A = this chain, B = another copy of it.
Amino acid sequence: MNTKSLKVHVEDAVANVQMDHGEVNLLTNEFILELQHIIAELNKDERIKVVIFRSMNQHFFSAHLDLNVINHEKKGIAGTKNFMNLIEDTKNMRAITFAIVDGIARGGGNEFVMACDIAYGTENAVFAQPEINTNIPPGGQGTVQAALRLGRTRALEFLLTGTDMDAPTAERFGYITRYIPSNAIEQTLQQVVTPLTFLDQRNIDMIKELVDLAIKDEKAAIKLERKMFTERAGEGKTQYLIEKLLEHGAQTSREIQIKELLADVVAEVTQGISLTK
């Protein structure tokens, strides 16, 4: 599934995508098309539940959209459209997407990070939307992401100055999911990603749909949550899992160690699934 600048490694339900494109991981039209191709391929593979984007560049996650794309020529407009579509495609990926930002993410590079479901930043990360210096606004939903994550006053400071925000600040301000020191990234990913690989795709879809709706329309989301809860409660799979949970000590003080309890259930259930297949 590799392309010139993207190395994709799929292991079980997890796809690792390594970006390595020139001096600064610049979002050239060619690189954008490669990313779109890989996203389309990953969407087709139903085994994949998690996609992790990393940069192989020492300094940059991604510098920004190629400035040569941003102009008034026809090719520029085409490139801009491809970039805008890339952001939308990333937001709409089927899997749960992670951006591991261990370097500089600015402009379109930062907008790609914000289009992922989860963003972890290290001590080497900075995040910025410096477009204002070039007489343009962000073009990949950067103003919208800043407004929703930072609130009005911090979004204005961030977008009008265009300056870098480090990861500890970005975590404090709710701009990224979490600040994680680079030497703790792999361990954190292992802990967070492992339970996600056991999820059914439709359960991932369900949570994404509910969260997105809740932000837009609280009342509608409450209604949809109730409907989904009632439907799912009636399924055989739910009853089977509840039965197993109860067998392993759910609803007793064994839940103080809920991780062990769930691990036991998962062990039995996944064995059961492999036996019945």
Contact = CB atoms under 8 A, between A and B. Distances in A.
A contact face: mostly helix, strand, loop, or mixed: helix
Copies of the protein in its oligomer:
3
A72 B148 contact: no
A207 B132 CA distance: 9
Contacts of A30: none
Contact of A118 (B26, B117, B144, B157): B157
Contacts of A147: 210-211, 214-215, 221
A222 B178 CA distance: 25
B139 A229 contact: yes
Interface of A: 23-24, 26, 59-60, 63, 66-68, 70-72, 76-77, 80, 84, 96, 104, 106, 117-119, 128, 130, 132-139, 141-144, 146-149, 151-157, 159-164, 172-174, 176-178, 192, 195-196, 199-200, 203-204, 206-208, 210-212, 214-216, 218, 221-222, 225-226, 228-230, 232-235, 237-239, 241-242, 245-246, 250-253, 255-256, 258, 262, 265
A253 B59 contact: yes
